[in-house]
């Protein structure tokens, strides 16, 4: 077996049931994902065309040997989706605490062309809140129905297809479809009317 | 409102939700009401979920938005960085965050902007590079560039940059808020160009120009911010990414050039392109391409492949009038896909805008390289930046000259020698450029000429000849210098360098090398530009022979040499040989590149052109039609090759007198050429000429006269008085004057045409013969029979000595000479010549010769009369 990256071996160990492999795997992937995310998203300006799912895809190509079978790939994606959610939420929470200078002076020294002024700051604030609300709703969902919360996490943060989710969870496509439809409707209703 | 947050009812809610979804939408509410008649709580929950079922979730957007803010480092408000205290966060990007700051020691009050790079992104290598390269940026001192003041590392190791604090509005916003007109916008733009060009001379490329990086303060002065910063960052990041096998895009696509989209190394021309996009937006309010901004793939494709919309077409009607013509051309030129088709430098771009503002003719409208060259020489503007770009790129890869030079001497290994030779050459060029820099700092235009001259002197000065040990390096440098002189049109200056290179290579026994082939090619160009075609032909032959041996039959240099040889044969009137050569080139290009490659299509077009000249009009027409179809297919309707072939097709239809067929084709070409290439482009003028000819053929004499006159004026201006195409129009105008009986106006035009053509092309060149024919016709019309007859005879004998008896042009010559004989009373001669003319005309059924139908009718009437009333004369003619 190739020793291209320890991730490959750990991934295979985890899939055949070695839970300790997951413990080793998570920090490795976390660090990579965070670094790459910071780098990759920095280059994107308008349009937000680069989604986390694309990043997961890219990371997979770099960390895992090409010859691993696609079930490992599905597991890797599932893992990444969880980590990605943590990264984004941690960051959003840290950002919420930040005091911002909301003045109208425009100094653009940035690569992305995001010129911040009062309304932009407002906008960013909203984006941060959106993600934190989504995360909270997902947490509530998990207390009611862990499986559904995990499915949404895989789909939204990791971009897993039904087939990949099927590999990870052992569920049929029709079950996945039903579960996700219900879960998404529930989350939307949750986000539309925040609990008091 | 209650939520399904109670685990006891969860299963029931879910089951009802799915059951309801099985039903048509309008029956669901009733179903749920009925099913939950005893538990309103569950009913409400299910109905709520159903309402949210069909909606777009927006989850992906939420996650994407959050991801975009991932790279922002934590806040540092109030903390001290170097000598500065951070005040407030005023902007952010992926690579870091920008704070306004002031001196922490309160020594003096100065607002600055500090950019902190995200710690997570910093590798040791990046940090090192960041620190060393910021020195370069710190050297940028220009009134319109925000200065880099300082830089360093924070305690936790993040690099930071201290920049001048600029207060102002983004360029577009400034222009719009002040409702600036075209002129004011252009004046601002020229200032911006000045700053960018200054940086280019300091070898700094911006690479990330955009509206928000150009701020305009209240006093109306634009300031460029972030100069080169993105380059530093993307260099460092790019390297890191490259080593990992995938290079992510870090581009603001809206302001990206084709080469950036392709992932090529940005150059000064990249900034030039982006300035074009910016100016386009400033003047039209639109992006150059008509694609949805959020469709990234379409945007990229448009940047790579789409010709921008003509600015005057997208602007408001009021604006459009100001943009049409010059500004259209300037913008279209700046937005060319190939860097070599754009302005040679931002300075040239800016100069054209300035010329426009000063109501001088602009360069962009010339388009054609030859035209530009001539213009350049005429205006004696040798400070062209064409080569500055070359020097700049040479500099970027430069190693220290002296060391390399010593190494070269020591090298035995050929490959290493070649490599080091290349380095020595670029190193030398870099030195030349460095010498010129003090001039630049004084604000003078850098003159490539001066740089080259001093380089040439230092090389020829034997006392200070650092290349004495390396004659081959010297030869390559001299040849490179010669190439630059040639591109500036400085033929005499180029010559000694070419001769030196050739002599050195011969002395060193290096004649069987690519260097020697290239040096020969330079000589070939030199001779060609001097119209010394016979000599040039010998050089083409030699370079072709060597290139074939050394580089092989299908090497681009070999084929270029062969093509050059074909052109020489064409120019010297040896059409049969030219034909053989172009057919051979076509065969090789088909084998090498396939039938649909642009170079192959060009070769096919050349074959068609020779057929055209040889009078094989049917075959020429077929070739042209094939070329048009292929070029249209491969390169699109508006590509210059497509247009060129279309023009040829129109021209052959005109030549053969098929004016009705020709008119729509030429009109189509003319419209497209005007659109794509501009009003004064040689290709456009060619089409105007052809159209005038068609009018003449159709008997629309007044229109033809006007158009010829206009074309002649433009060609004289654009191509010069002696250009073969100027003379062509001059001759056609003269013919028109003759046909309307205005012989006095025709004569000086014809005399001038014929003299110039004999000088440049020679007595027997096909083009000269056509002019001679027209001159003879004019002389005949003026009743100068002797002179006319002599001229007709000399034309016929020239064709016959070229074994070209069957050329359709001879129909008119024979008819003309026949008429001379008739007025001279030589009826036998008349009859004999007319019979030859008629036989020749019958063998070219598709060719229509002007006025020949009348001559023929007259002859037939004469012939009938003769056979009826003068049998003995007829008999005598036959026995003659």
Tell me, letter by letter, the H, E, C secondary structure of B26-60. Answer: HHHHHHHHHHCCCCHHHHHHHHHHHHCCCCCCCHH
Q: What is the ipTM of this complex?
A: 0.78
* Interface contact B297, partner A, CB < 8 A: no
CB atoms < 10 A from the CB of B393, how many? 16
Among B8-17, B45-54, B264-273, B374-383, the minimum mean pLDDT is found in B374-383
pLDDT, tens only, B843-861: 887 777 777 887 888 788 7
Is residue B873 within 8 Å of B832, Cβ to Cβ?
A: no
Q: What is the pLDDT of residue A156?
A: 85
Please tell me the predicted confidence (pLDDT) of residue B331: 92
Any idea of the CA torsion for B393, B394, B398, B402, to the nearest 10 degrees? Answer: -160
Shortest Cα–Cα distance, B421 to chain A (Å): 39
C-alpha distances in Å from residue B550, one per residue of A64, B412, B419, B512, B516: 48, 21, 19, 6, 10
Of B455, B405, B451, B398, which Cα lies nearest the Cα of B426?
B398
Q: Is the pLDDT of residue B737 over 80?
A: yes
Q: How far is CA B229 from the centre of its chain?
A: 30
Give the pLDDT score at B460.
Answer: 57
pLDDT value at residue A180: 92
- Answer whether residue B269 is part of any domain: yes
Q: Are A109 and B214 in contact (CB under 8 A)?
A: no
Q: How far apart are the CA of A17 and the nearest CA of chain B, in angstroms?
A: 30
- DSSP code of B850? T
Q: Are residues B349 and B326 in the same domain?
A: yes
Of B439, B465, B490, the domain-final residue: B439
Task: Give the whole-angstrom CA distance, residue B713 versus residue B692.
Answer: 14
For residue B227, give the DSSP letter.
T
Contact A94 B215 (CB under 8 A): no
Percent of the residues in chain B that have a pLDDT greater than 90, as a whole number: 19
**Cβ pair B71:A41 closer than 8 A:** yes
Judge if B35 and B152 occupy the same domain. no
CATH classification of the domain holding B101: 3.30.200.20
Instruction: Please say if the pLDDT value at position B559 is more than 50.
Output: yes
A146 contacts: CB under 8 Å, gap ≥ 6: none
Chain B residue numbers touching A113 (CB-CB < 8 A): 93, 210, 212-213, 252
pLDDT at B17: 92
If we measure between CA atoms, which residue out of A74, A86, A79, A72 comes closest to residue A34? A86
Question: Collapsing DSSP states into helix, strand and coil, what is residue B448?
Answer: helix
Q: What is the pLDDT of residue B364?
A: 58
pLDDT value of position B122: 53
- Burial class, B346, CB count within 10 angstroms (exposed 0-12 / middle 13-18 / buried 19+): buried
Annotated binding residue at B115? yes
Residue B59's nearest CA partner among A152, A34, A182 is A152
Taking every pair of C-alpha atoms in chain A, what is the biggest distance, in angstroms?
Answer: 58
pLDDT of residue A83: 83
> First and final CA of chain B: distance in angstroms?
121
Instruction: Tell me the pTM.
Output: 0.40
B4–A144 CB contact, under 8 Å: yes
Whether residue B527 contacts residue B559, with contact meaning beta carbons closer than 8 Å, is answered with no
Position A118 pLDDT exceeds 60: no
Of B141, B144, B255, nearest in space to B191 by CA: B144
Q: Do A184 and B226 touch (CB under 8 A)?
A: no
Tell me the pLDDT band of A2, cut-offs 50, 70 and 90.
Answer: very low
Q: Is B430 a residue whose pLDDT tops 70?
A: no
Among A153-162, B472-481, B746-755, which stretch is predicted with the lowest mean pLDDT? B472-481
User: What domain count does chain B have?
Assistant: 6
**Which of B49, B168, B230 is closest, CB to CB, to A189?**
B49
Q: Which residues of B touch A44 (CB under 8 A)?
A: 68, 94
CA–CA separation, B161 vs B225, rounded Å? Answer: 12
- Residue B621's pLDDT band, with cuts at 50, 70 and 90, is very high
Contact: B4, A186; criterion CB under 8 Å: yes
Mean of pLDDT values over B51-69: 73
B406 within domain boundaries: yes
| Residues B205 and B329 placed together within one structural domain of the fold | yes
* Residue B96, beta-bridge partner list: B93, B117
3-class DSSP assignment, residue A52: helix
pLDDT at B432 over 70: no
Residue B157 and residue B206 share a domain = no
Tokens at residue B776, please? Answer: 């003879």
State how far the Cα of B91 lies from the Cα of B167, in Å rounded to an integer: 13
Q: Say if residue A97 is exposed, middle or buried (CB neighbours under 10 Å; 0-12, 13-18, 19+).
A: exposed
Answer yes or no: is B766 within a domain.
no
pLDDT digits (tens, 9 = 90+) for B573-588: 788 889 999 999 999 9
Distance from CA of B308 to the nearest CA of A (A): 21
Residue written as token pair 């100016």: B279
Residue A104 has pLDDT above 50, yes or no: no
- Rounded CA Rg of chain A: 19
User: Does residue B807 carry a pLDDT above 60?
Assistant: yes
Question: How much helix, strand and coil, in percent to the nearest 5, is found in chain B?
Answer: 70, 5, 25
Tell me if B734 is assigned to some domain.
no
Please indicate, yes or no, if residue B304 is contained in any of the structural domains. yes
Same domain, B118 and B197: no
Q: Are residues B299 and B224 in the same domain?
A: yes
Mean pLDDT lowest among B383-387, B643-647, B670-674: B383-387
* Structural contact between residues B589 and B599, judged by C-beta atoms closer than 8 angstroms: yes
Query: pLDDT digit string (tens) for B77-127?
Result: 667 777 888 887 776 554 567 788 888 776 666 788 887 765 555 555 556
CB contact under 8 Å between B67 and A47, yes or no, is no
Q: Is B93–A113 a contact, with Cβ atoms under 8 angstroms apart?
A: yes
A178 interface with B at CB cutoff 8 Å: yes
User: Which chain B residue shows the shortest CA-CA distance from A139?
Assistant: B5
Chain A residue nearest residue B20, CA to CA:
A182
In this prediction, residues B442-451 reach a mean pLDDT of 46
Asked whether residue B171 falls in the same domain as residue B290, the answer is yes
- Asked if B298 has any chain A CB less than 8 Å from its own CB, the reply is no
Looking at residue A116, what DSSP letter applies?
-
What is the per-residue DSSP string for B705-763?
HHHHHHHHHHHHHHH-TT-HHHHHHHHHHHHHHHHTT-HHHHHHHHHHHHHHHHHHH-T
Residue B19: per-residue pLDDT: 92
- Nearest-neighbour CA in chain B from A7: distance (Å): 16
Residue B665 covered by a domain: yes
> Exposed (0-12), middle (13-18) or buried (19+): which is B1, by Cβ within 10 Å?
exposed
Cβ distance of B245 and A62 shorter than 8 Å: yes
- For the range B43-47, what are the long-range contacts, defined as Cβ-Cβ under 8 Å and sequence gap of 24 or more? B44/B1, B44/B2, B45/B2, B45/B3, B45/B4, B45/B9, B45/B13, B46/B13, B46/B16, B46/B17, B46/B20
Contact between B314 and B322 (Cβ < 8 Å): no
A39 at interface of B, judged by CB pairs closer than 8 A: yes
Among residues B606, B624, B710, which one has the least CA distance to residue B666? B624
Mean pLDDT of the region B365-371: 38
Tell me, what's the pLDDT at B421? 55
* CA of A175 vs chain B CAs: smallest distance (Å): 11
Best of B90, B118, B217, B224 to mutate (most A CBs within 10 Å, chain A): B90
Q: Are residues B816 and B700 in the same domain?
A: no
Give the C-alpha distances (Å, rounded to integers) separating B436 from B60, B262, B525.
56, 33, 28
Does a structural domain hold residue B832? yes
Contact between residue B727 and residue B753 where contact means Cβ atoms under 8 Å apart: yes
- pLDDT band for position B394 (cuts 50, 70, 90): very low
How distant is the Cα of B156 from the closest Cα of chain A, in angstroms? 17
Instruction: Check the CA dihedral B805-B808-B812-B818 and report its sign.
Output: positive
pLDDT of A35 = 67
Closest CB to A111 among B10, B208, B245: B208
Which of B65, B66, B212 is most worth mutating to test chain A (most A CB atoms within 10 A of its CB)? B66
Residue B434 pLDDT greater than 50, yes or no: no
Residue B813 forms part of a structural domain: yes
Give the angle B582-B584-B590 at the CA atoms, nearest 5°. Answer: 100
**Residues whose CB is less than 8 angstroms from the CB of residue B51 and which lie 6 or more positions away in sequence, other chains included:** A189
The CA distances from residue A24 to A11, A15, A120, in Å, are 10, 13, 40
| pLDDT score of B241 more than 50 | no
B426 vs B817, higher pLDDT: B817
CB atoms closer than 10 angstroms to residue B829: 18
Nearest CA in chain B to A123: B65
Averaged pLDDT, B330-350: 89
Interface subset of A 48-87, CB within 8 angstroms of B: 48-52, 55, 58, 61-62, 87
pLDDT tens by residue, A134-144: 999 999 999 99
Exposed e or buried b per residue across B27-62, where buried means at least 16 C-beta atoms within 10 angstroms of its C-beta: ebbebbeebbeeeeebbbbbbbbbebbeeebebbeb
Length of chain B counted residue by residue? 880
Whether residue A114 and residue B62 make contact (CB cut-off 8 A), yes or no, is no
Report residue B406: phi and psi, to 5°: -65, -40
Q: Does B69 touch chain A (CB under 8 A)?
A: yes
Q: Which of B678, B698, B719 is the last residue before a domain boundary?
A: B719
Domain boundary (B439, B467, B488) is at B439
The model's confidence at residue B680, banded by pLDDT at 50, 70 and 90, is confident
Query: Can you give the three-state secondary structure of B345-360, one letter per residue?
Result: CHHHHHHHHHHHHCCC
Task: Extract the tokens encoding B252.
Answer: 């603001």
| A79-83, A153-157, B566-570, B803-807, range with the lowest pLDDT | B803-807
Residue B508, both tokens = 């060193």
CB-based contacts of B726: which residues, under 8 Å, 6+ apart? B712, B715, B716, B719, B720
> What's the confidence (pLDDT) of residue B451?
57
User: In this structure, are B319 and B215 located in the same domain?
Assistant: yes
Pick the most confident of A26-35, B145-154, B196-205, B722-731.
Answer: B722-731
Q: Cβ of A123 under 8 Å from any chain B Cβ?
A: no
Contact B49 A185 (CB under 8 A): yes
> What is the distance between the alpha carbons of residues B278 and B197, in angstroms, rounded to a whole number?
16
Query: What average pLDDT does chain A have?
Result: 71
Q: What confidence score (pLDDT) does residue A105 get?
A: 28
Quick one: B173 and B280 in the same domain? yes
Domain with residue B292: its CATH number is 1.10.510.10
Indicate if B176 and B325 belong to the same structural domain.
yes
Shortest CB distance from B169 goes to which of A50, A58, A106? A106
Contact of B210 with chain A, judged by CB distance below 8 Å, is answered with yes
**Residue range of the domain that includes B858:** 804-863
Q: Hey, is the C-beta of B75 within 8 angstroms of any chain A C-beta? A: yes
User: What DSSP string runs through B459-482?
Assistant: HH-GGG-TTTT-HHHHHHHHHHHH
Which chain B residue is nearest to residue A191, measuring alpha carbons?
Answer: B57
Contact between chains at B226 and A109 (C-beta distance less than 8 A): yes
Q: B153 vs B821, which has greater pLDDT?
A: B821
Chain B residues in contact with A114 (beta carbon < 8 A): 91-93
Task: Choose the weakest-confidence range: A90-104, B231-245, B833-847.
Answer: B231-245
The two three-digit tokens of residue B187, written as one number: 């004046």
Query: Do B338 and B381 fall into the same domain?
Result: no
Per-residue model confidence (pLDDT) at position B753: 93
Of chain A residues 1-30, which have a CB less than 8 A from chain B? none
DSSP B85: E
A149 touches chain B (CB under 8 A): no
B162 neighbourhood in chain A, CB within 8 Å: none
As a whole number of angstroms, the distance between CA B502 and CA B495 comes to 11
Which of B241, B256, B95, B118 is CA-nearest to residue A41? B95
> In this structure, are residues B725 and B689 in contact, taking their beta carbons and an 8 Å threshold?
yes
Residue B171 has pLDDT above 90, yes or no: yes
Contacts of A144 in chain B (CB under 8 A): 4-5, 7, 10
Give CA–CA dist B266/B257, Å, rounded.
9
Q: How many CB pairs under 8 A join A and B?
A: 237
pLDDT of amino acid A179: 93
> Going by C-beta distance under 8 Å and a sequence separation of 6 or more, which residues neighbour residue B618?
B846
Of A37-51, A69-83, B398-412, B775-789, the poorest mean pLDDT is in B398-412
Q: Using the beta-carbon criterion (under 8 Å), do A38 and B120 form an inter-chain contact? A: yes
B137 touches chain A (CB under 8 A): no
Could you tell me how many residues make up chain A?
Answer: 196
Mean predicted lDDT score pLDDT of chain B? 76
Partner residue facing B250 (CB), from A109, A111, A130: A111
Cβ within 8 Å, pair A41-B215: no
B244–A92 C-beta distance less than 8 A: no
CB B504 within 8 A of CB B475: yes
> B88 and A193 in contact by Cβ < 8 A?
no
Per-residue pLDDT, B576: 86
Q: Which of B3, B62, B93 sits opposite A110 (nearest CB)?
A: B93
């Amino acid at each position: 077996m190739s020793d291209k990256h320890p991730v490959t071996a750990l991934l295979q160990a985890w899939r055949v049931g070695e839970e300790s492999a997951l413990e080793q795997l998570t920090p490795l992937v976390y660090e990579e994902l965070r670094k790459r995310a910071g780098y990759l998203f920095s280059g994107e300006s308008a349009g937000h065309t680069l989604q986390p799912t694309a990043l997961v895809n890219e990371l997979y190509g770099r960390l895992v040997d090409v010859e691993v079978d696609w079930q490992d790939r599905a597991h890797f994606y599932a893992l990444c989706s969880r980590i990605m959610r943590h990264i984004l939420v941690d960051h959003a929470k840290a950002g919420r605490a930040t005091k911002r200078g909301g003045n109208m002076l425009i100094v653009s020294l940035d690569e992305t062309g995001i010129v911040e002024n009062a309304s932009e700051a407002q906008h960013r604030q909203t984006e941060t809140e959106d993600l934190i609300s989504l995360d909270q709703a997902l947490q509530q969902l998990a207390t009611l129905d862990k499986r559904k919360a995990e499915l949404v996490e895989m789909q939204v943060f990791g971009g897993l297809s039904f087939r990949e989710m099927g590999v990870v969870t052992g569920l049929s496509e029709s079950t996945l479809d039903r579960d996700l439809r219900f879960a998404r409707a529930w989350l939307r209703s949750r986000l539309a009317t925040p609990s008091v | 409102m209650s939520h399904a947050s109670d685990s006891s009812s969860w299963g029931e809610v879910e089951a009802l939700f799915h059951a309801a979804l099985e039903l048509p939408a309008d029956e669901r509410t009733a179903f749920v009401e009925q099913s939950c008649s005893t538990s309103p709580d569950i009913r409400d929950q299910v109905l709520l979920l159903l309402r949210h079922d069909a909606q777009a979730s927006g989850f992906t957007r939420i996650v994407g938005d959050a991801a975009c803010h991932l790279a922002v480092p934590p806040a540092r408000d109030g903390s001290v960085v170097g000598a500065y205290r951070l005040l407030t966060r005023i902007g952010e990007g992926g690579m870091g965050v920008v704070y306004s700051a002031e001196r922490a020691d309160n020594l003096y009050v100065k607002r600055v902007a500090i950019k902190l790079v995200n710690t997570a992104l910093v590798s040791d290598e990046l940090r090192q590079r960041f620190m060393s390269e910021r020195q370069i940026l710190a050297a940028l001192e220009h009134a319109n560039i925000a200065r880099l003041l300082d830089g360093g590392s924070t305690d936790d190791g993040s690099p930071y940059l201290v920049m001048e604090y600029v207060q102002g509005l983004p360029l577009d916003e400034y222009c719009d808020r002040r409702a600036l007109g075209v002129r004011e916008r252009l004046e601002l733009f020229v200032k911006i160009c000045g700053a960018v060009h200054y940086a280019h001379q300091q070898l700094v490329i911006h690479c990330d120009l955009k509206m928000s990086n150009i701020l305009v303060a209240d006093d109306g002065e634009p300031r460029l911010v972030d100069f080169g910063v993105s380059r530093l960052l993307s260099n460092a990041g790019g390297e890191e990414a490259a080593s990992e096998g995938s290079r992510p895009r870090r581009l603001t696509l809206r302001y990206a050039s084709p080469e950036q989209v392709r992932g090529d190394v940005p150059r000064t021309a990249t900034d030039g392109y982006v300035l074009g996009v910016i100016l386009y937006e400033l003047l039209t309010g639109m992006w150059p391409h008509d694609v949805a901004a959020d469709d990234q793939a379409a945007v990229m494709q448009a940047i790579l492949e789409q010709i921008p919309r003509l600015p005057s077409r997208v602007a408001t009607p009021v604006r459009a009038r100001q943009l049409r013509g010059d500004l259209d051309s300037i913008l279209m030129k700046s937005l060319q896909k190939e860097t070599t088709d754009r302005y040679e430098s931002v300075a040239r771009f800016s100069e054209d805008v300035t010329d426009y503002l000063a109501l001088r003719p602009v360069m962009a409208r010339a388009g054609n390289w030859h035209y530009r060259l001539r213009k350049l020489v005429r205006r004696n503007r040798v400070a062209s930046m064409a080569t500055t770009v070359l020097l700049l790129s040479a500099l970027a890869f430069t190693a220290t000259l002296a060391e390399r030079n010593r190494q070269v001497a020591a090298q035995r290994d050929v490959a290493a020698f070649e490599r080091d030779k290349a380095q020595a050459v670029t190193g030398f060029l870099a030195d030349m450029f460095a010498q010129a820099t003090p001039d630049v700092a004084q604000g003078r235009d850098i003159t490539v000429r001066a740089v080259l001259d001093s380089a040439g002197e230092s090389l020829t000065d034997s006392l200070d000849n650092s290349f004495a040990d390396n004659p081959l390096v010297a030869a390559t440098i001299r040849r490179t210098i010669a190439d630059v002189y040639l591109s500036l049109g400085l033929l005499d200056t180029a010559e000694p360098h070419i001769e030196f290179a050739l002599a050195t290579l011969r002395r060193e026994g290096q004649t069987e090398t690519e260097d020697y082939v290239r040096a020969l090619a330079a000589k070939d160009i030199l001779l060609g530009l001097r119209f010394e075609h016979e000599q040039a032909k010998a050089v083409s032959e030699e370079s072709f022979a060597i290139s074939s041996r050394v580089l092989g039959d299908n090497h681009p240099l070999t084929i270029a040499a062969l093509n050059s040889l074909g052109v020489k044969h064409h120019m010297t009137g040896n059409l049969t040989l030219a034909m053989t050569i172009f057919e051979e080139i076509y065969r090789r290009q088909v084998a090498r590149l396939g039938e649909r490659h642009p170079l192959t299509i060009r070769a096919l077009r050349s074959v068609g052109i020779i057929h055209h000249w040889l009078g094989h009009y049917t075959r020429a027409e077929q070739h042209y039609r094939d070329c048009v179809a292929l070029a249209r297919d491969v390169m699109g309707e508006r590509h210059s090759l497509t247009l060129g072939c279309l023009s040829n097709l129109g021209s052959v239809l005109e030549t053969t007198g098929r004016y009705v067929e020709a008119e729509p084709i030429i009109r189509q070409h003319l419209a497209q050429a005007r659109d794509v290439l501009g009003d004064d482009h040689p290709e456009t003028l060619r089409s105007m000429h052809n159209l005038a000819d068609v009018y003449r053929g159709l008997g629309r004499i007044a229109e033809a006269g006007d158009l010829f006159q206009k074309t002649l004026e433009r060609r004289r201006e654009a191509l010069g008085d002696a250009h073969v195409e100027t003379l062509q129009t001059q001759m056609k105008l003269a013919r028109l004057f003759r046909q309307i009986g205005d012989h006095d106006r025709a004569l000086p035009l014809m005399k001038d045409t014929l003299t110039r053509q004999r000088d440049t092309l020679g007595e027997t060149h096909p083009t000269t013969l056509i002019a001679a024919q027209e001159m003879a016709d004019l002389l005949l019309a003026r009743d100068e029979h002797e002179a006319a007859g002599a001229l007709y005879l000399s034309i016929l004998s020239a064709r016959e000595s070229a074994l070209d008896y069957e050329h359709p042009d001879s129909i008119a010559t024979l008819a003309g000479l026949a008429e001379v004989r008739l007025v001279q009373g030589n009826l036998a001669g008349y009859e004999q010549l007319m019979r030859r003319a008629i036989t020749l005309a019958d063998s070219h059924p598709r060719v229509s010769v002007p006025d020949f139908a009348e001559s023929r009718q007259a002859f037939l009437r004469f012939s009938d009369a003769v056979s009826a009333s003068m049998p003995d004369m007829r008999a005598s003619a036959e026995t003659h």
